[in-house]
């Protein structure tokens, strides 16, 4: 088997979830916020574009330090055009919450993938709070006519930070209390950043409550590296045969780190160094060592699924190289991501000759060390392109990706970094 050695450092761009939220809260604060290290990806540009269309003053995202002068808690203005959210579910759902608290109508539109994604999950609680929300079936285009909102105590059927955040943001803008109860805990970046903006946020197990506020304080944020982007390089290092790779300044919020835990169960060695807190989020250097020939299958399910939800396509790709059968369950949400990730991941693994099977709420993948060859159909799904890109970077595999450019949705520069790390280490 051809060997792959990794070495040196790979720096990944800023966290996507935190970047969206930093722009939204800065736009709604009273005064000047500063945001350093924002992710300049297509999805974050969608949020900046939507906020700009609503009258927020958005500086160019290319600035090293963004200084945003907020419009105030209910200071956005009626848009004169539909709000184009591109490929971004987070932009759509969180901004629907923001708009629900404002006294005007907004119409949300998006690309073909976003236009297939379910929106009733946010329309229902926002309507219960008093907004008028109209959908085409369950999907975009979605019109939100906001206004005076009522307090809400909402039990969500899904563990979803987008549903939770839509409700919390609507409550903050509307000046009312909200409680959201989830079956499992989803990522808590909104809660952490709202606290930094002076909101009283009380978390209790899997439920969270925000108290009404008059105004939001400006925030000062350094966006950590995105653990979902770091995951591709941690996986590459784990699949390598020699060496280790350092990833500085990666966000390690425990609601996001399930993939690293799963990879450790598979036999990967991942160290955490220089752990610190930055703006209310844990940040550290990850050091991932090569374990390629000794990875073994694992099982993932239950409460850990939300902590690795975006990494499951990658976990399935790593499983194709691990001894035994990996099984993921309790992950039906994968079917309503940028693509139906259960169907698209399994179909692509099979194209490569990997034994893989769809479950209603997950998948099964049996690993081997035979060379993998074939063309990946991404359906424009950025995480599929990158997950299979990692398999393609392993010596001996010949994998082409139909649309590598879709990586810009979350990780501009991914392919350059991948060839720098894998290329500098081919033996």
Residue 408 has what DSSP assignment? G
Report if residue 333 touches ligand S3P, rule: CB under 6 A. yes
156 binds ligand S3P (CB under 6 A): no
Instruction: Find the binder of ligand S3P among 33, 46, 165, 215 (CB under 6 A).
Output: 165
**From CA 263, how far away is CA 238, in angstroms rounded?**
8
* Count, residues near ligand S3P per rule CB under 6 A: 11
Q: How far is the CB of 185 from ligand S3P (least distance, A)?
A: 12
Catalytic, 310? Answer: yes
Nearest CB to ligand S3P, comparing residues 55 and 118: 118
Closest approach of ligand S3P to the CB of residue 260, in Å = 17
Q: x/- string (CB under 6 A) for ligand S3P, residues 59-98?
A: -------------------------------x--------
Q: Report the nearest approach of ligand S3P to the CB of residue 392 (Å).
A: 23
Candidate ranges 100-108, 157-165, 297-305, 320-328; the one touching ligand S3P (CB under 6 A)? 157-165
Give the interface segment with ligand S3P, choosing from 103-111, 140-148, 161-169, 319-327 (CB under 6 A): 161-169
Residue selected from 84, 188, 310, 381 as contacting ligand S3P according to rule CB under 6 A: 310
CB contact at 8 A, 265 and 298: yes
Contact at 8 Å (CB) between 283 and 277?
A: yes
| Angle of CA points 39, 5, 391, to nearest 5° | 60
198 φψ region: left (φ > 0), alpha (ψ -120 to 50), beta (else) = left
Supply the DSSP string of 120-160, one letter for each residue. Answer: HHHHHHHHHHT-EEEEETTEEEEEEE--S---EEEE-SS--
Q: What is the DSSP string of 159-180?
A: --HHHHHHHHHHHHHHT--EEE
> Is residue 17 near ligand S3P by the rule CB under 6 A?
yes
The neighbouring-strand residues paired with 357 are: 364
Question: Which residues make beta-bridge pairs with 250?
Answer: 225, 284
Q: Which of 41, 162, 229, 298 binds ligand S3P (CB under 6 A)?
A: 162
Contact flags string 401-420 toward ligand S3P, x per CB under 6 A: --------------------
Write down the catalytic residue from 277, 310, 369, 403: 310
Strand pairing of 178-181 and 152-155? parallel
Q: Which is nearer to ligand S3P, 28 or 399 (CB)?
A: 28
CB of 165 to ligand S3P, least distance (A): 6
Tell me which residue has tokens 């060997």. Answer: 3
The encoded tokens of residue 272 equal 């955490």
Residue 327 contacts ligand S3P per CB under 6 A: no
CA distance 353 to 2: 19
Q: Which residue has the tokens 């081919």?
A: 426
Q: Are 224 and 251 a contacting pair, CB within 8 Å?
A: yes
Residue 340 interacts with ligand S3P (CB under 6 A)?
no
Using alpha carbons, select from 16, 123, 25 the residue that is nearest to residue 76: 25
Q: Which residues belong to the active site?
A: 310
Which residues of the chain form contacts with ligand S3P (CB under 6 A)?
A: 17, 90, 160-162, 165, 186-187, 309-310, 333
């Amino acid at each position: 088997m051809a060997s792959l050695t990794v070495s040196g450092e790979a720096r990944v761009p800023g966290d996507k979830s935190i970047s969206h939220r930093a722009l939204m809260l800065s736009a709604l604060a009273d005064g000047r916020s500063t945001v350093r290290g924002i992710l300049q990806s297509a999805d974050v540009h969608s949020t900046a574009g939507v906020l700009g269309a609503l009258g927020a003053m958005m500086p160019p995202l290319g600035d090293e330090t963004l200084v945003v002068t907020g419009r105030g808690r209910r200071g956005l203005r009626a848009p004169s055009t539909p709000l184009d959210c591109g490929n971004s579910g987070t932009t759509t759902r969180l901004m629907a919450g923001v708009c629900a608290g404002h006294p005007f109508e907004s119409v949300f539109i998006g690309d073909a993938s976003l236009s297939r994604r379910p929106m009733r999950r946010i329309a229902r609680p926002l309507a219960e709070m008093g907004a008028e929300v109209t959908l085409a079936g369950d999907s975009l285009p979605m019109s939100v006519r906001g206004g005076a909102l009522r307090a809400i105590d909402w039990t969500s059927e899904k563990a979803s930070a987008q549903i939770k955040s839509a409700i919390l943001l609507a409550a903050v803008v509307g000046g009312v209390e909200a409680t959201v109860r989830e079956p499992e805990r989803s990522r808590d970046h909104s809660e952490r950043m709202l606290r930094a903006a002076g909101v009283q946020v009380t978390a209790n197990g899997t439920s969270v409550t925000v108290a009404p506020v008059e105004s939001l304080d400006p925030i000062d944020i350094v966006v950590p590296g995105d653990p979902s982007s770091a995951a591709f390089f941690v996986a590459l290092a784990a699949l390598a045969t020699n060496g280790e790779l350092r990833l500085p300044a990666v966000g390690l919020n425990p609601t996001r780190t399930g993939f690293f835990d799963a990879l450790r169960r598979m036999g990967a060695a991942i160290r955490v160094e220089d752990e610190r807190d930055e703006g209310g989020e844990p940040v550290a250097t990850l050091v991932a060592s090569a374990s390629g020939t000794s990875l073994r299958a694992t099982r993932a399910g239950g409460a850990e699924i939300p902590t690795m939800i975006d990494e499951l396509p990658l976990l399935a790709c790593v499983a194709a190289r691990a001894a035994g059968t990996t099984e993921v369950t309790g992950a039906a949400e994968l079917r309503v991501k940028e693509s139906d990730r259960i169907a698209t991941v399994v179909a692509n693994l099979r194209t490569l000759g990997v034994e893989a099977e769809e479950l209603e709420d997950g998948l099964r993948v049996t690993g081997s060390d035979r060379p993998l060859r074939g063309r990946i159909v991404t359906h424009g799904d950025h995480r599929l392109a990158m997950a299979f890109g990692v398999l393609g970077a392993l010596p001996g595999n010949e994998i082409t990706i139909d649309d590598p450019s879709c990586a810009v949705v979350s990780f501009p520069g991914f392919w350059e970094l991948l060839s720098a790390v894998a290329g500098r280490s081919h033996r």
